[in-house]
């Protein structure tokens, strides 16, 4: 990890760690010892937010990431369902920015985003699965206009290897290159 961070620094890049905090938790919840934290016992992708042990597990993961990335200014926590986690990551762990995938709140009214002060909590990371995300109507209507009224800034990202499905073994390079270029 130190070598990666050194190379990033030399090349004027920033390493932003990603820790999924509610959804996409297969990497943890698939293990028998953590199955008690599942929202649905038959589904290993979502953690139960009302289980006290879930909060302990998430804070432990975030603390481990902070130890591995002591100089990180930002952390990506997955999607917007992590409202409380965003506050914890900023206040307790000292991250200056918390990034969250935008697709879970793309249709939310700007008044609601402002009421919950989402712009103070997270920076939306805008991305899409499609090869060309610049097509009209790919993103929800007026999303960028609403976001500009609720968030001081936005970050754009490309799709990743798992965008074709969580069980993918290979990365289709041309597809992801086209996604990045769009």
Q: How many residues does the chain have?
A: 182
Q: Where are the alpha helices (DSSP H) in 18-82?
A: 26-29, 52-68
CB contact at 8 A, 54 and 48: yes
- The single residue of 81, 97, 115, 145 carrying the catalytic annotation is 81
Determine phi and psi for 5, rounding to 5 degrees: -65, -35
CB contact at 8 A, 124 and 79: no
Nearest to 48 by CA among 25, 27, 75: 25
CB contact at 8 A, 116 and 94: no
**Does 120 qualify as catalytic in the annotation?**
no
Dig out the tokens for 12 from the structure.
């004027």
Residues tagged active-site: 81
């Amino acid at each position: 990890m130190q070598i990666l961070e050194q190379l990033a620094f030399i090349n004027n890049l920033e390493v932003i760690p990603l820790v999924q905090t509610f959804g996409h938790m297969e990497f943890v919840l698939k293990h028998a010892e953590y199955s008690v934290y599942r929202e649905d016992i038959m589904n290993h992708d979502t953690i139960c937010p009302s289980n006290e042990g879930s909060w302990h597990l998430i804070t432990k993961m975030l603390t481990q990431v902070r130890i591995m990335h002591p100089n990180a200014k930002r952390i990506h926590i997955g999607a917007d369902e992590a409202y409380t986690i965003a506050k914890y990551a900023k206040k307790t762990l000292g991250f200056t920015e918390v990034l969250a995938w935008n697709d879970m709140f793309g249709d939310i009214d700007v008044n609601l985003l402002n009421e919950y002060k989402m712009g103070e909590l997270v920076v939306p990371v805008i991305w899409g699965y499609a090869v060309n995300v610049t097509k009209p109507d790919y993103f929800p209507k007026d999303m960028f206009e609403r976001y500009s009224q609720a968030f001081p800034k936005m970050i754009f990202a490309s799709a990743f290897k798992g965008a074709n499905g969580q069980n993918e073994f290979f990365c289709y390079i041309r597809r992801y290159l086209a996604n990045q270029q769009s």
